[in-house]
Structures are given as structure tokens and as C-alpha cells.
Structure 1
Amino acid sequence: MATGALRRASKRARNAEQLAERKRACIHALLNRPWVAKEDDADLYFTIKDHYEELRNWLMDKAGFPLIVTRTIAKLDKTPVKAYPWMGFAEFRDKRDYIFFTYGLWYLEGKTELDQFLLSDIVEEIREQMVAEGIEADWANYYDRLAMARALKKLRSLGVLHNVDGDESGWAQDAERNALYECSPNARYVLRRFPRDLTGCSRLEELEDPIPYASTQEGQSMRLRHRVYRRLLLEPVVADRQWDEDDLNYVLWQRRALIDQLEKMLGWVGRRYREGLLFFHPELTGESDLFPTLSAASDLALLAAGEIRSRLSEDSGLHTEANGMIRLTRSELEAIFYQLQEKYKVFWSKELREFSSQELAELCMKHLLEWGLGEQEGEAAFLISPMLGRWQAEYGNTDLERE
């Protein structure tokens, strides 16, 4: 009897953990994908639908993110507290790409599911609307066509526009070319829902809140909680010095609750360090990009971290600021990468070996900026976050011929 009871208890525990893992997979997918489409990932879509109430309630209560589930997609309306360049579309090269993308959505708003139309109809109607609003668009201009083609390609990759015959690449090269498209029912869900009429807003800051908040103490407490969770969920790292005073007080006082909630719902491991509260993904891979990445830029960042740590201990002139940051001039950073290249180039790819120390420094700085582990200070200096010092790496023995 006792053995049977233990076996049943063990089975219930396994089932409970498997259920928790499925819910975590749902939240990770909702946070990192534009949406979960039933057509592309039916299992995950139906898991979200099965646990809709629990997921919706947690995401709304903690972050103010509305969860939308339709007959074709499950989407989390994500609103960042702070916008960063890496939050944009990597495929876009120019601000006009975003302008044409938005007008593409405007055009699709007037279509119904399975409506078909020619590329020439889309671009002409968009051009007329833009000109009426005082914005120039000239399809005889090759670069305007390229920007429009990138916008249409992104709409297709999101699944809100389907190509039936041909695509925009031919038109980008020759304005006389054409293509046939079909509208998806998901077009109206690309843009987030705003809590107020946009025509009544005069400043970008008025669009920061994902939902309306009451001016009462309870309403402002909810807004504070949502701000903290939104940043922790959407940003790689947030150091203490990067929080507003009220937000930091919440992080300090609610540290245990934050760690427990994010571990329960996302599986993250939270640790409190001198520089801030950090969260780590316990697995080597996941829905989101994880630092360090598999890119050469991450290798450079980790090697640089080790070299900087050594120089700090050797009293080489480097020192930490009061907030823990390490200030390096461009020439100091380039000197570090020159030394690293001489020491480790045998492990590097041919492309990386041929980089100048300036190019290596630029690659690393850009990578650290994207991950919140560095900051540009004017033209001449770069600040290294103390959080980078939490990682250490070195090349292992690759002598495979040794017995």
C-alpha cells in the first residue's frame, strides 16, 4: 500500500512539473514571438488556449500585458518601458522601411480575409495616401522601391500577407513587374492596442502605458509593479542605477517575490548582486537569445572581460567608478583587442583574424550595447558594466591529435 501511494505521489509530482513546463513554454513563446499561430505551432497554440485564464491573469496582474487569443493566433501585447534599437526589425535598413510597413498595415485594414490584390494596387494606394498626408513616395526611385519591398517581405514573414503569384523582389528591380497577394486575418493584430485615442496624444511618453491606470494609490501601485515586471521580462539586464527611484525601491523590497514569481512562471534563476538583481535562464538554449551567444562577438566580450579583470588586479591604471562601471577610452579598448588577437588568433576564424583592433573593438562594443552590458560615453569613452564580470571564459585544449 505504501509503495503504491509513493508511486502515485511521484506520478502526480511528475505530471505537475510537466504541466508547469508546458505553461513556461507558453509564456516564453508569447514573450519572444510576434504571436503563436495555430497553423505553424498547433500544439503550443492549443496549450495556450487550454490555460488561457491562468496565463492571462498572471500576465495582466504582473505586467499589464493583454493576452489575445483568436481562432488563428495567440498574441501577447507587449509594451516596453524603454525602447532600444535591438527591439526593431533587424531586416530594416532605414526609417522609411517602417513608414512603408505601417502604411502596408493601413492598406490591409481595409481588406477582408482571403481578399486578393495586385502589388501595383497596394503601392499606388499607399503612395496616394502618403502624398495626401504630405509624405513623399516615388516608386520610380529605386531606393523607395527597395524600402517598400523590405516592408512587404516583413509583412509576408509575419504571415499577415501571402504571396499567391510572384513577390516584391522582382518589382524592387523593375517597377513594371507585378505580383499577386492575399490578405490574412492576422493583419489587424500586428500593432498593439493603445489604451487611449492616439489623436489626443501630443508626446510619445503618453503611449508608454499598456493599459489605463487610475490616479488612486492602488492604480499607481499597479502601474509601478507593471513597470518593474515589464523591464525584467523584456530587457536582458537592468542594473540598480538604471531604475527610477520608485522602481528601485520596489525591486529592493519585493526582491523575494520577484525571484519566486519569475522562477515559477518562466523557470528563471534570480540572484541579487551588488550591481543589481539578475535573472539567468537555466538551460543552454531557449525561445529567446541568451548571453553569451554563439557569435564571435560574445567570445570577444568574454575574453575582454577576463583581460579587464586581470588589469584591474594588476593596478594597471584601470579602476572602477563609484557605480561599479569601468571607463575605457577607445585607444585602451583597441589595445586590449590587439593583445587578445595576438594571444588567441589561433582559435579565431579567418575573418576575425583579419579584423583590425579597431574593428574588433567596434564589434564588441555594439554587442555589449545590445545586451545592456556597456554604454557609450561620448565619442571617446566606453563604459563596461560590472555585470559582464559575472562571466569568465577561456579556450580549452583543442589538441585532438594527442593520445
Structure 2
Amino acid sequence: MNILEILLNRRWILKARDRELYYQVKEALASGEEKRFLREKMGYQVIVNPYLIKVEKMPAKPENWMGIMEFKDPVEYVFFCIVLMFLEEKEAEEQFVLSELTEYIQSQYEKEQIDWTIYRYRRHLIKVMKYCTFCGILQVDDGSEDGFARDYTGEVLYENTGASKYFMKNFTQDIMSYAKPEDFEKEEWIDVNEDRGIVRRQRVYRKLLMSMGMYKNADSEEDFAYIRNYRNMIQGELSELIDCELQVHRNSVFLILDESCHLGRTFPEENTLSDIVLLFNGVLQEKIQAGEIYIETDEQIRLPKVTFQKMVEECKERFCCAWNKTYREMTFGEIYREVYEYMSELMLIEERHEDIIIKPVMGKIMGTYPPDFHLKGAKDE
């Protein structure tokens, strides 16, 4: 059991749900190694109390993959925040019915009038309540959200677990005047008394452990200088805690994880969409070697959007007979949308105006099929 992987992978460890794991991690933290690393190298506070264990994780900078992935509409985030407000007044193990919460949401939501007879609002709230149950904020004691989906008068009996008080990060400053993500970044470093050395160190470790890669630009010169100066120390310290290798290039840095390491979401994943992106990387490498595509001095590739689309289409035409039925039967438009959104989410590409910027991490790994894959695919059918 790798304690660091568990703490960074999970939002928290709830004693009520994972009692054995809770005590294992609590005992391991007592030795101090992982706790010291999280506090000194990453600037993360570790919360240990009779109810849960949680690492207060913050990124070096906001990324497009962060957030609650189950939520697709801004109103769902608003509903969720109102639920947290509602639970502030509830004691642990206190019960309440859904209608009590829906009335509270109506009284607190100022942007528009919430009418629960409209299915759209009920659907958003159901998604929020299911997430609250999934992550351990609430427990369903009686009923089901399905009844509320059919009729706004449907009731569900919930129990507050008490974990909601620890969901949000504790901020040392008043955040009501914050208007953009950068405001939270500045707040994060207030407690270190503007010590640039500490800020830089923690920022570097956060980037290495929480981003797909680090890229050199005007804003990251200090971070790259730190890595060049302390490369061996960083590699040694990280390899003692997780199975990984630090790979440093002229304009990029990557933390390559061993197959035995399960630190958060990694690429490639075990799904067909990930395989398709690996095959796309193979097509990309072919065109680079043929001189059709050039790598710029910053190790990135800039392609017109139409060229990127044609490459995805070529990938589909060449390899789709070996994909599972769902992806074989998709139209090109459906395939392209899935590939584009997936690659954007993992920060493998970035759209700028009418161009697609392919990040250097794409050169790290590619996939191919054996020459007779189409024959094997036909036989399997």
C-alpha cells in the first residue's frame, strides 16, 4: 500500500466507509515521511481527525481537467454549494427530507426563480444529490431520487454524515472579492511569507505530480532553473515515495510513472478512446518522419484545425475495424468530438484561434497494430 498514492488519489478517507484503511493510513502518517513531504515539498495540509483523513490539495495553477467531472452545467455547482450551506446548520447523523432542502435552495438561489415542477431543475439537483451520496457527504436512509425525478413531490430521507464541513478548503483570507482563478493562486502562498524559494519549490512539485507535463515559457523560467539545479535531489526524493522517473528536456519536464504506480489519472488509460489517441500519435510520428509536419523550437506542433481533423479521419479509416462496436459505428463527427474533448481534457492539445497546438507529451508514447490486425479483427467478428 503506497500511502502517498492513496492520499493524492482520493478526496478523503472516511472512517465510516473505510475503517481499516483509515487506521492503516493514520498509522503510516505517524511516521512522518509522507506527511513531511506533503507539507514541505507541496505545501499541503494533512487533516486527521476522528472522522476522516484528507489532504488539502491545490494545483500550481488551474487546469481544464479539474473540477467535479460529474457536473456538466454551472447550475449544478451552484446547487452543490447551496447544499453545503444547508448542511452547515445540520449536526452529524441528523436527518432531513428532500423537500426541506428544495425549499432552502429556492430561498437562496438569487439568479433565477427555481421551479421544481420543471424537470430540468430536478435533473440537475438529482445529479448533485447522487454525487453527495457517492462521495460520502450524505447517506440515503429511505427513498430514492427516482421518485423526485418523476414528481417534484417525491421525498427522500437523507442523513448528514458530517463530512461536508471538510469538503471545501479552509481559506486564510476572505475570498468574497475574488473574481478569477488567479486570485486563489495568490491566496495560496500568503502563509509562506512571500519566501520565493519555498513558493518555487512547492509550485514545482505540484506541477510534477498534478500536471501532464511542465513546459518552459516566460512564466516558468524560475521553475526550470530549480529543476536543473536540483534534478538529482528531486528524482531521488520522488523515487523513494513512488515508482517514477523524472525526464528533463530542453523545454519540457515529465514525471514518467512505472506500471505499478497508480498515482491519479494517467495516460494511456485502459479504454478504446485512449487506444485511438495512441494510434493518432503513431500517425503523427509517421508524418514527422516523412517531413510533412515540423516540430517548432518550443517542442510543440502547430497544425491548422482542418489538418488535425484530417489526421483523426485518417486514423479512423486505417484502424477502426479493430475498435469495439461502439466506436466502429460512430460517425466521423462523433469520433472527432470524442477524441478532441479527450485530448483537450488531458492537456495533450490546446486550441488557439484556428490552430491546434500539439503538446510535447504526445511524443512520449504511441501505439501501433500488427500488420495483419485487420485480418485478426475480421476473424474475431
TM-score by length of 1: 0.85
Q: Structure 1 counterpart of 2:80, which letter?
A: F
Q: Which has the higher contact order (CA 8 A, sep 6+)?
A: 2
Unpaired segments of 5 or more residues in structure 1? 1-21
**Residue aligning to 1:213:** 191
* Aligned CA distance change for structure 1 residues 214 and 86 (closer, same or farther; 3 Å): closer
* Aligned CA distance change for structure 1 residues 204 and 315 (closer, same or farther; 3 Å): closer
Partner of 1:372, secondary structure, is: coil
Partner of 1:198, secondary structure, is: coil
| CA deviation map 1:345-365 (0-9, x unaligned) | 321223322334443333222
Q: Measure the CA separation in 2 of the matches of 1:319 and 1:361.
A: 23
Partner of 2:158, secondary structure, is: strand
Match of 1:115 among 94, 97, 112: 94
Q: Measure the CA separation in 1 of the matches of 2:219 and 2:257.
A: 22
Does the 8 A contact of 1:118 with 1:180 survive in 2? yes
Q: CA deviation at 1:43?
A: 3.3
Q: Structure 2 counterpart of 1:180, which letter?
A: L
Q: Measure the CA separation in 1 of the matches of 2:337 and 2:179.
A: 37
1:91 aligns with 2:70: yes
**Residue aligning to 1:144:** 121
Q: Structure 1 counterpart of 2:318, which letter?
A: K
1:173 aligns with 2:150: yes
**Residue aligning to 1:353:** 328
Does the 8 A contact of 1:319 with 1:326 survive in 2? yes
Q: Measure the CA separation in 1 of the matches of 2:57 and 2:224.
A: 22
Does the 8 A contact of 2:62 with 2:181 survive in 1? no
Q: Structure 2 counterpart of 1:313, which letter?
A: Q
* Aligned CA distance change for structure 1 residues 386 and 77 (closer, same or farther; 3 Å): same
CA RMSD of aligned residues (A): 2.4
Which deviates more, 121-130 or 111-120?
A: 121-130
Unpaired segments of 5 or more residues in structure 2? none
Q: Structure 2 counterpart of 1:385, which letter?
A: K
**Residue aligning to 1:320:** 295
**Residue aligning to 2:222:** 246
Partner of 1:328, secondary structure, is: strand
Does the 8 A contact of 1:65 with 1:210 survive in 2? no
**Residue aligning to 1:373:** 348
Which deviates more, 236-245 or 162-171?
A: 236-245
**Residue aligning to 1:11:** none
* Aligned CA distance change for structure 1 residues 203 and 276 (closer, same or farther; 3 Å): closer
Match of 1:64 among 21, 43, 48: 43
Q: How many residues align?
A: 373
Match of 1:334 among 301, 305, 309: 309
Does the 8 A contact of 2:300 with 2:358 survive in 1? yes
Q: Measure the CA separation in 2 of the matches of 1:147 and 1:354.
A: 30
Does the 8 A contact of 2:209 with 2:255 survive in 1? no
* Aligned CA distance change for structure 1 residues 243 and 266 (closer, same or farther; 3 Å): farther
| CA deviation map 1:324-345 (0-9, x unaligned) | 2112223222322333233223
Q: Measure the CA separation in 2 of the matches of 1:328 and 1:197.
A: 43
**Residue aligning to 1:225:** 201
| CA deviation map 1:167-205 (0-9, x unaligned) | 323213211111111110211011111122224656543
**Residue aligning to 2:20:** 43
Q: Measure the CA separation in 1 of the matches of 2:232 and 2:65.
A: 30
Which deviates more, 240-249 or 338-347?
A: 240-249
Q: CA deviation at 1:284?
A: 5.3
Mark the structure with the bigger radius of gyration: 1
Q: Measure the CA separation in 2 of the matches of 1:325 and 1:361.
A: 21
Match of 1:260 among 218, 230, 236: 236
Q: Measure the CA separation in 1 of the matches of 2:121 and 2:218.
A: 39
Q: Measure the CA separation in 2 of the matches of 1:113 and 1:171.
A: 24
Q: Measure the CA separation in 1 of the matches of 2:297 and 2:180.
A: 35
* Aligned CA distance change for structure 1 residues 314 and 214 (closer, same or farther; 3 Å): closer
Does the 8 A contact of 2:242 with 2:261 survive in 1? no
Does the 8 A contact of 1:103 with 1:126 survive in 2? yes
Identity %: 26
* Aligned CA distance change for structure 1 residues 203 and 88 (closer, same or farther; 3 Å): closer
Does the 8 A contact of 2:243 with 2:261 survive in 1? no
Q: CA deviation at 1:75?
A: 0.4
Q: Measure the CA separation in 2 of the matches of 1:112 and 1:142.
A: 31
Q: CA deviation at 1:40?
A: 3.0
1:183 aligns with 2:163: no
* Aligned CA distance change for structure 1 residues 394 and 269 (closer, same or farther; 3 Å): same
TM-score by length of 2: 0.90
Q: Structure 2 counterpart of 1:362, which letter?
A: R
